[in-house]
Each structure stands twice: as structure tokens, then as C-alpha cells.
Structure 1
Amino acid sequence: MTIEHVAEKAGVSIATVSRVLNGIDKKVSEETIERVRAVITEMGYRPTRVGRALRRLESHLVGMLIPDTTNAFYAAIAHSVEAALRADSTAMILCNTAENPVVQDAYLDEMEGHLARGIALLGAVASPGLDRLVASAAPLVFMNRKPPMPGGGPFVGIDNYAAGREIGTHFVERNYQRCAVIHGPAASSASRERFEGFRDGLAAEGVRLDDRSIHEAALTMSAGYSAAVELLDRAPLPRAVFCGNDLIAYGVHRRCREVGLRVPADVALFGFDDNPLNEWLAPWLSTVHVPYEQFGPAAQRVFQRLWDAKPGIRQHQELLPYRLVFRASA
């Protein structure tokens, strides 16, 4: 079915149908507009957007780049964003960067080739392609992790430093004196701020982290397990461990069970994100609940302000509420 069929059935020119489809209807009467729309509905006509995209140099597509599609927390955020964009008649393309700047740049180039209306980056890493897009004022929204360069674009996420500091304060209130931390990659603003907040929360109460009790790891179960093997292989054992995300905590928990350490009687654990899997697989894990379902509506609002060229939007931070969830592990 083509636009010609719609025009013939409605008794109007192809140009008139095109004007109605594109919202350029100042020269078209209300009666004609209604007739054309009725025919479009009756015939189930779906116009191709390629031509319009080329004319306007944009499409109704938004690219979303995430660092790990196997992470249920990231997947939940992506689902929220997709739903919010779909409600605004925008489609989303999901890309897995694997924290690799070369892969990230390849996807950024691909999104440009698709004339994407915007790009959401959940966990951006520094890369030449990202630098170029930031310099060109492309419509970018950074999520969960702040842009890796100053003034890179608007941010949607939580105050990771404040949340980390609250965990540090909680550890002191529970009288956990020998504390350890397995944080995510320091290049990530989210991981770095969580660790710095935790460290400062302890320090404010007079508790100092020993350098040997600080470990950096990828945000995966296997990395958490490997860090725990080293951490729990020497005396004195930590009384409590703060993990940079819930997946790291899963790995630490497994190692504790292997060496006969009870959680929380021997070692307390605190995670971060409140991964959707917790409800089913780790209902025992204390963590920071990050409202993944709110990322989508927030991102859509920020994109709309970018598309409308609202003043100050590129420096905007949309901070979402978080809360500490206290369960059996801490």
C-alpha cells in the first residue's frame, strides 16, 4: 500500500496527503484533513519515515548504549527508557558496548548513520567519537554514570556519593570497625563516587580504611568472587564489606560460603543498585535501591528539552531518589 492509494481513495493529491502526514496542514481544510486521516486509519497505511528522516536529518529513533546487556539492573533501566520513548512515538535501538571505547565509537557512528534523534549512554567511557559528538552539541543523555568529560551533557541518575556516605555511616553505627570495600572501575564516576562517599562516611566517624582492604573490580559476579578470594585469604578478616554493586556482592557471598564464613554473623555484606534479581535470588542482601523504573520518564523529559533547545539543558542533572534497604546481610 502506498501514499498514492491513500490519495486516490481520499480524492486528494499526493501532496495533500503528505502535508497531512507531516503536520504541514495550514493550506488544507479541516474537512480534508479529517477525510485523509480517516482513509489512513481505514486502510491501515503506515508511511515510511526514511524520506522524512533524510529531509529533516533526523529520525524517530533513539540509540541506547549500555555496558553489559547481561546485567539485570542495566536491562531494567533500558526497559524503562524504551517504554517511555515508545509512548512518545519514538523507537529505541539497544547496543552493548562492553565498556569498550572502540565498540562504543562504532555504535555512535552507526547511530549517526541512522540519523538517530538522540543517544542515551548508560555507562559511557571516554572515546574520540564521544568527544566529537559532545563538541558538536549532539543530543546526548548520560545515565547512571556522569559524562567522562566536563560539560559533556545532561545527567540522569542518583547522588552516588551521598548514598555511599550513608553506607559508611551505617557501618559505624553497627560497630563494624574492620571494614573493606570492593568498588567498581575507578574510571566510572558512579563507582568512584560510591567509594569516595563510603570512605568519607567512615572517616567522619573516625574509622579509617586500610589500603589492603580496598579492591577494584569489574562490576560482575566473577570479579567480585576473585576479589573476595584475595580479601578473605588473610588475617584479620574484614567484619563488613561494601560492594560496588549487587553482582560483586553475589560473588563475595559465594566465596564466604566456600570458606565457611556466615553472613552476616562473620562478615556483613552491603551491595548497591537493588538488582531486580534480588527479590528472587538474594532477598537477604542489604543494598541501595536505585529506582530503575524512573530512568525512562526522566530521560524522555531531558531528551525533549534537548530537542526543544531549552537554555541550560546541557548542564542539567536530573537526580532521582534512592534509599538504603536493610536486609539480613547487614
Structure 2
Amino acid sequence: MTTTFRKPIHHRWRLIACLSSLAFLFVSFGLAPGPGLAAEVELKFSHVNPPTHSSHMMALHFAEKAKELSGGRISIEVVPSGQLGGLKASIDSAKLGTPIIAYAPASIAQDYANTASIMDAAYMFDTVEHAERFIEGAGGKMIWDDIEKGGLKRLFSSFFGTRQLWLRECGKAPADFGKLKMRVPPARIQSFNSRANGLSPTPIDFPETYGALQAGVVDGVDVTPSSFVASKFAETGLKCVMLTSHNFLMQPAFMNKELFDGMAPELQKALLEAGRAAAAYNKGLTNDEEGQILKTITADLGVEVVGPEDGLDLAAFRKNAAEIIYTEFEKDWGQELLDEVEKTR
């Protein structure tokens, strides 16, 4: 009798079969890569603030959530202090296809959408909640759609803080400031904001601001309390803050739209969800920080605080804004966008 033996399967083919099955699972179910394997998407998160600023903590939170929600398939390195370039340079870099996320005011993206400047127009929004309703509603969608046509994708917007006037000397109305020079971000709307506040605008990127203040190139800044303290601007002789609250800064994070569109759908979803989580985290952090700073800044840093209860004439500032800013930019914004501001008020 003849006995038939089956040829044994070689161990190598068993290994290949196992690896093929694992690859199928990874692709089909989005399982996390194992230890030591590179992430599928590697990005750098660029911002101009120091590591002590709340925005840096927000960015770290965003990076951690993106990693968690993607099962390790997204890796984000947070790069502070303008190391990858200033506000405009980082946005332009993202537009050119560099794998970075640029965290910068919406108005810095004005080259890609004229409508973006409305987000940073002085006295346009009454509260941070008003700004949030507008951004996440139909008005915001108009702006983000325009920006996408220019090649940028907004991932999320987070409350960066409330812009106030920080100067070497106090005043209560725009007419009090004479020709004091104000550092402004490199965006056209910011120069008009400065003029409406009675100041002479000098565009300077944020990483260069401390040196410009020390050298007397400018006499003040309009930044948030967190930025003022984290950047140590009190050391440069700024001894007065006027609580104009002229901008509730809802700062967007942008990346290249083509790069975003090329990501797997589940990774796009993870990135957007991480952005929403980071925005919620940052709002509480920023609100608490601003309140605490303004309570103690006189005792801690010798900065005098001038608010409406001290005679600060907010009506005069708002009147200037209507005459100087809105008449200049309303053609860029269009009536439909302005109507959305009113609807969400």
C-alpha cells in the first residue's frame, strides 16, 4: 500500500500569511501601530508664543488628543516661540504644502480670503460667546469656505484671549494718545484697529516685539493679558493697561488643504475632534488666567488698570471703529457677512 504524505507548509509562508492578515486588520479597522513604528501623519504645530503661554499648553493638549484619537497614527510636534517663522510666514508655509499647522489670527490669512479680516476687526463682537456663535455658524462657514479656496484648511478655532491696550502712559479716550506708536501684527485690519484706538500703527511680527519695545521703536502693544505676562512686556516700561476689550481673539489653526484631503477619513475625523477638544480645554484655561492676571497685575508688576469704571470712554473708541474701520472694510466683508454678525449678537 502506498502512503501519501502532504508537503509541509514552510514557516516563511506561514509568517507571510500572518503578516498579511495583520495588515488587513490595520487597514480595515484603523488599529494603532505597534511600539517603534512611525506614525502615518507627522505634523509640526507652529505658534509664536513662549512655552509658558496658555496657547502652548493648548497645543500640547491638541497633539496628545490627536495621537489618542488616531490610535497613534498622527504625531504632532509643538514648536513654540516662532521657531518655524512668524505669523504670516507659518501660514504661507502651510499654503505651500509644508506639513505644519499654523496657529495665527484669522486676519493673517487675508491674502487668501478678504473676508477673514472681520474676525479681528476691533469692537466687532460684544463677547467671546458672540464671536464663537459667529465663527461656528453660517458667518464662519463663509470665511472658512473662502480660505479653503485659497488652499488652507481650518482645523479649529480657540479662544486666545481678549486684546487690551498696553502702553507706557494711561489714557481714557483715543484723543489722549497723541501719536504713540503701537506694535501691530502684519495684517491690514490691525493697522486700522490701531488708528481707531488713537495710535500710530507699526507692523512688527510677534517674536521681534520685545526688542522693539526695549529699543523704543514702539510705545505699546494690543495683546491679551496672558501674552503680556508670558512675554514679560512689563520689563520694557509698559505700565498701563486700558480695558478696551476691542477683540475677543478666536484664533484658528490652519494646515494645507491638499494635505488634509489626502489623509484617511478616520484621521481627518481624529484631527478635527482633537481640535474641538483643545478649543474647549483652552477656553476655560484662558478665562481663568485672564481674570487672575488682571486682579493682581498692579501688585505683581506695577501696571495701572484703567477700565470703564475709571472713566475709560468706550463709546469714543467704538465711534472711531465705525468711522475708520468698518467704512474701509465693509466692501471686503459684504452685507451678508455683516448680517450674520448681527444675527449672532
TM-score (norm. length: structure 2): 0.41
Higher helix proportion (structure 1 or 2): 2
- Give the TM-score normalised by the residue count of structure 1: 0.42
Greater RCO, 1 or 2 (C-alpha within 8 Å, sep 6+):
2
